[in-house]
Structure 1
């Protein structure tokens, strides 16, 4: 069983996102094992990119801070290698197709696998183009995570039938960011996935409060939170480890009851 399957087998999964290198890679190296201890079941590491089209201002600014601190893909691979000596928590890279192509798809995925990454999330890669990366991911044992959105409707069945690891359900239209209300019909999206394949569904985009997490965990197998955590990194800088871990403990207890 893969690390990701094991994480969902334990119950509702809490999946926080941080931008690697924000505020710097030394903090990322401290933060990931601490987040795992605080209750994170899978951790998404964003690779900073100068043009993150799916992101709101909070994560755009985190990318700028990480790039300004000298973060590169190679330095992230080195950092993850060291993180792996401290924790076995499942790790997913979230990045865009352009940085992967520029780096070299096979080289990127091989290096990701060798440093201990379990999954890859590429929000700007359409389902129809996944063969650009999927065969390479399979070769190196990395799950290429499928995303579905409220607009996916008739495509959800096709996407779900080929999904691996878990399905990332985008809860609302537009870019990432904290929202007061999650309006999409998540229940229907999850049902369509489950009708096609028995695979975990995790909901992300816009979730920030324990109340939202608790409500949505009634329908989903996992809750993904990014912007609310990245805001804490922005607010506390190099002192962000404890505030982020405290938030994770709150959110994890909300979804596990």
Structure 2
């Protein structure tokens, strides 16, 4: 429900939804909450939160570096979900998604994990290493817990796979403009309008572009291609990596950056889409 309300609101205003990503518990529990406050107060329409995992195959070196700190602090899955519950209590209407890897789910037990996420107030779960053809592993537990299961639509997927993604993904579909791993060090490219059009024709939920979006121009390009929202992760995480030993400077840089991207996303794109 929170996703549908949020996407409806930004659509009515001719905006894109802006969903920043950070790793929960990085660089520590207290600062993680302060970082999230910066994201929300400076224009985030939703949040995508990562749980630290020792083998994050979809992530580039920037996010991998961020993941090491919670792991070193023994910051567990249950610690992360307790922290998410605090965020939910503070921001009751904000859509909150979780980006994780399948082994974390299996380690907790699929049904137990989804129930824990539901109790923490999580709206969606994207399992980064679960292709849509394996969706049945998690679909039942997701449906029982009322959590949207989000899938990634890669740019080289065939029509049959895109149809399955459009039919299976809930809340939104995470679209890639390129193959590879996350990271601002990799040049951004605009998602193909034809690719996005196919997903829409197949009945996909709102399309949110991630990977390689780090500047306002990337946001404008994404709007012209026809997405409904954007996710930025590595650019924010890079600021944490660089400044976590000087928290006030870190928080100021994050606030400034998020505000810049939020302003680009919240420009009226109705005429350019």
Q: Decide: shared fold, TM above 0.5.
A: yes
1:70-81 counterparts in 2 under 5 A?
Answer: 70-81=74-85
Moved more, 174-183 or 219-228: 174-183
Matched residue of 2:219: which SS?
helix
Q: Is structure 2 residue 142 aligned with structure 1 residue 141?
A: no
Give CA deviations for 1:218-238 in whole Å, capped at 9, x if unaligned.
211001111111001111213
1:28 aligns with 2:32: yes
Choose from 154, 171, 179 the match for 1:173: 179
RMSD: 1.4
In structure 1, the residue matched to 2:270 is none
Q: Contact 1:179–1:208 at 8 Å: present in 2 too? A: no
Q: Which residue of structure 1 lines up, in the alignment, with residue 162 of structure 2?
A: 156
Q: Could you tell me which of 193, 213, 228 is aligned with 1:187? A: 193
Deviation at 1:5, TM superposition (A): 1.1
TM-score normalized with structure 1 length: 0.95
Decide whether the 8 Å contact of 1:33 with 1:87 is kept in 2.
no
Number of residue pairs matched by the alignment: 256
1:128 aligns with 2:130: no
Which residue in 1 is equivalent to 2:255?
Answer: 245
Residue 223 of structure 2 corresponds to residue 211 of structure 1: no
Gaps of 5+ in 1: none
Partner residue of 2:5?
Answer: 6
The answer as to whether partners of 1:56 and 1:177 remain within 8 angstroms in 2 is: yes
Tell me the distance in 2 between the aligned counterparts of 1:23 and 1:235. Answer: 11
Q: TM-score, normalised by structure 2?
A: 0.90
Query: What residue in structure 1 maps to residue 48 of structure 2?
Result: 44
Aligned to 1:109: 114
Task: Write the distance in 1 (CA, Å) between the matches of 2:191 and 2:158.
Answer: 11
Q: Which runs of 4+ in 1 moved over 4 A?
A: none
Q: How far apart are the structure 1 equivalents of 2:229 and 2:121?
A: 22
Query: How many Å separate the matches in 2 of 1:3 and 1:243?
Result: 28
Segments of structure 2 that go 5 or more residues without pairing to the other structure are 11-15, 268-273
22-31 or 107-116, larger mean C-alpha shift: 22-31
The 1:6–1:242 alpha-carbon spacing in structure 2 relative to 1, beyond 3 Å, is farther
